[in-house]
Structure 1
Amino acid sequence: MLIDRNPEICAAELDGEVCLFNPQSAVYLNLNSTGSIIWNLLEAPTALDELISNLQARYAVNADICRSETESFVSEALEKGMLLQSQPA
């Protein structure tokens, strides 16, 4: 599964954090610093495992915690329409 930003989302960076707005559902989401990093890593469609590996390479974080937190963020962002998922070509 590939994770990608929804191209309809309006995003703005404020004080090092990313704010997202989905105009289709009128849902607003303010990302914390970790969520902002994940959003920025998703400039192109990325496999979930690759995203987790990139985060682990950048930060000294426990693998299980990194996976759990990333999966939680991605799940919530998918639910709110901020991210999309697709199958690799």
Structure 2
Amino acid sequence: MNTFEMIALEDTVTQVKGIICSDMAGEKVMLSVKNGKYYNLGETGGVIWDLIENPIKVREIVESMKAEYDVNDQECEIQVRSFLDNLIREGLIHKNI
């Protein structure tokens, strides 16, 4: 049974230290020094990555993404929360409740 709880809108997230990050042709690519893996966040993921450089509430990320992209409220929230959940699973961000 999976006991992972999806990130909530009121959670605060921020990048972990030790991530080497670069912009390549408009996409954000990263190397985690801790786990030795490369990641390509793409353009949209790169926007979120930049937003979480400092601690920020998930709700604020969703609002920022809705202002930047033509997406409905529910779809934006689902996509942002899912993306952040993946970053947490990979050990790339911290979640502070």
TM-score normalised by length of structure 1: 0.90
Q: CA deviation at 1:43?
A: 2.3
Q: How many residues align?
A: 87
The corresponding residue for 1:12 is 22
Q: CA deviation at 1:83?
A: 1.1
List alignment gaps of at least 5 residues for structure 2: 1-10
The within-5 A match list for 1:15-26 is 15-26=25-36
- Once superposed, which parts of structure 1, at least 4 consecutive aligned residues long, lie more than 6 Å away? none
List alignment gaps of at least 5 residues for structure 1: none
Give me the whole-angstrom Cα distance separating, in 2, the residues matched to 1:16 and 1:84. 25
1:28 corresponds to 2:46: no
The corresponding residue for 2:68 is 58
TM-score normalised by length of structure 2: 0.83
The corresponding residue for 1:78 is 88
Give me the whole-angstrom Cα distance separating, in 2, the residues matched to 1:76 and 1:27. 14
Output the aligned Cα RMSD: 1.0
Identity of aligned residues (%): 25
